[in-house]
Structure 1
Amino acid sequence: MTAAATADEAPDAAPRAARLGERFATTAGWRVARVVDAWQETPSARTLVLDVPGWPGHRAGQHVDLRLTADDGYTASRAYSVSAPTDPAHPGHVHVTVQRVMGGEVSTYLVDDLPVGAGIEVRGPVGGWFVWEPGTAHGAPVLLLAGGSGVTPLAAMVRARRAAGDRTPFRVLYSVRMPTDALFLDELTRGRLDGVDADVWFTRAAPPDAPRPPARIGLRDLAHHGWPAALEPVCYVCGPTGFVEAMTRMLLVLGHEARAIRAERFGPSTD
């Protein structure tokens, strides 16, 4: 499955040379994109802005496949969620936020080495179930549960809501190891007045002003900070497999309907 930084395969399955070749394939829906901007989100995560010719647009929650080609022609592709909705001013731009994975040659190259101006292949957008669009909630509130870099597609939903001036009530519960790992923290937590209510839990190290010591999200937390099942919220859960399974079980215990839970999972652990 996909998320902000889908688990890299072992280094020997990635390109043998961490260099992009200039020989790109154009089959099976792949497009040749260029990196037009990039910035560091955290010490281990970087956002890339890709200009993709002929891009059809995308929805918050969808993902793309990125493919690198080594000088010897060897290729490797990984899936990454888009971290921002389509921008009407730049409809061909795609934002992806990549979290470096320990031992992952592809994510390490994207975070540390891929220069602005470089080429990269893109395929997508992919996915139609784990998406949110302004004007589609029909009065139902939205609950976003994020584990680690799984916050990326959920941040795209928050950004889509704000860009459209949508008033659907959002609640965000974000579980992350420590402050230096937290993505989009200021953006997520500044919006209580505009209907985005976010709480952050740190599992390994919390800042001095944190309301509680490091701990995972528990059933009581979810019951207190999430939407009651009686309001019939749409629930989006994204993160490592263990996190997604735990949150899904808790939502069911709290009375949420299985049909209202949309889950996206990936490999690495957040704790």
Structure 2
Amino acid sequence: MTSVSGGPPHPGPWQSATVTGVCQETPTAKTFTLMLPEPCSFWAGQHVVVRLTAPDGYRAQRSYSIASAPSNAAELDLTVEILQGGEVSGFLNEAVEVGDTLDVRGPIGGHFAWDLKPALGVGGGSGVVPLMSMLRHARKLGEPDLFRLVVSARRPEDLYYSTEIQGPGTSIVFTRAVPDGHARQPGRLTARDLTTTLDGDRDVYVCGSTAFCDAATQLAAAAGVPAERIRVERFGFSG
């Protein structure tokens, strides 16, 4: 069984990261590939803080989950959803290009960091980002069943990582519209969506909006998952 020792890494100093790639994930989200001056050790599920500094010295910063799998490289991916009125997310999505630099500090977070025990991730919308780090890590280790994933998206065009996310142990729930050939009819997440991928030895990682997390947590509890084995990370408006 794959395992890790010790706790998740703590944040280091601020670093100047170079943007080496920009990918349009959905109509309202982009993935930014950042190259740090030196390797950044992190656990899947952790996040970093991105800081912007205006010419007049004004600063704004926001936290964004890491989407890439842990590695020994100095490269990491952040997927950022543009929010209406979002100060930082708007600038990142509308102005940042390859070759630009961003101030980054991390990794941060211990509660939602995946310890490589068998787990099920349940993500809604942009809440899939830290869970994608976990899924990628399990696949990279050659143990895809170590981490299973149920992800909810409104429509096919709203699904993050659409060309990569599908595979064994992954279920996709569309709530508004489905692509041709999709077996499940559109509708909200149900207990059945979890029980078909859940067994008694798995922790559950839930990430999304407050309403989504509350509903998914109730479904996991109803499926018999003890409260202490459910970890939740709620995404609120952070701009």
Structure 1 length-normalised TM:
0.78
Query: Which residue in 1 is equivalent to 2:136?
Result: 159
* SS of the residue 2:217 aligns to: helix
Structure 1 gap segments, 5+ residues each: 1-27
Deviation at 1:167, TM superposition (A): 5.1
Query: Which residue in 2 is equivalent to 1:227?
Result: 198
Which whole-Å CA distance do the structure 1 matches of 2:214 and 2:46 have between them?
20
AA aligned opposite 2:135: V
1:178-200 CA distance string (max 9 Å, x none): 111101123121x22xxxx1111
Is 1:180 matched up with 2:162?
no
Which whole-Å CA distance do the structure 2 matches of 1:108 and 1:232 have between them?
41
AA aligned opposite 2:175: T
* SS of the residue 2:132 aligns to: helix
Which whole-Å CA distance do the structure 1 matches of 2:144 and 2:161 have between them?
21
Deviation at 1:53, TM superposition (A): 1.9
Deviation at 1:161, TM superposition (A): 1.1
Which whole-Å CA distance do the structure 2 matches of 1:103 and 1:215 have between them?
29
Query: Which residue in 2 is equivalent to 1:265?
Result: 234
Query: Which residue in 1 is equivalent to 2:6?
Result: none
1:60-119 CA distance string (max 9 Å, x none): 11000001111211111111000012333xx21121011111221321221222011111
Structure 2 length-normalised TM:
0.87
* SS of the residue 2:152 aligns to: strand
| Paired residues of 1:173 and 1:198 also in contact (CA < 8 A) | yes
Which whole-Å CA distance do the structure 2 matches of 1:243 and 1:177 have between them?
12
Query: Which residue in 1 is equivalent to 2:98?
Result: 116
Matched pairs, number: 226
**Aligned match for 1:64, one of 48, 52, 64:** 48
Identity %: 41
Greater radius of gyration (CA) = 1
Written as runs of structure 1 = structure 2, the 5 A alignment for 1:196-207 is 197-207=169-179
**Aligned match for 2:120, one of 131, 140, 143:** 143
* SS of the residue 2:163 aligns to: helix
Is 1:209 matched up with 2:178?
no
1:135-171 CA distance string (max 9 Å, x none): x42xxx3211010011111111111111122354432
Structure 2 gap segments, 5+ residues each: 1-11
| Paired residues of 2:138 and 2:146 also in contact (CA < 8 A) | no
**Aligned match for 1:49, one of 24, 33, 40:** 33
* SS of the residue 1:143 aligns to: strand
Is 1:240 matched up with 2:209?
yes
| Paired residues of 2:38 and 2:74 also in contact (CA < 8 A) | yes
Written as runs of structure 1 = structure 2, the 5 A alignment for 1:32-47 is 32-47=16-31
After TM superposition, what 4+ stretches of structure 1 lie above 4 angstroms from structure 2?
A: none
| Paired residues of 1:145 and 1:173 also in contact (CA < 8 A) | yes
Which whole-Å CA distance do the structure 2 matches of 1:40 and 1:56 have between them?
24
In structure 2, relative to structure 1, the CA distance for the partners of 1:158 and 1:221 (3 Å cut) is closer
| Paired residues of 2:138 and 2:147 also in contact (CA < 8 A) | no
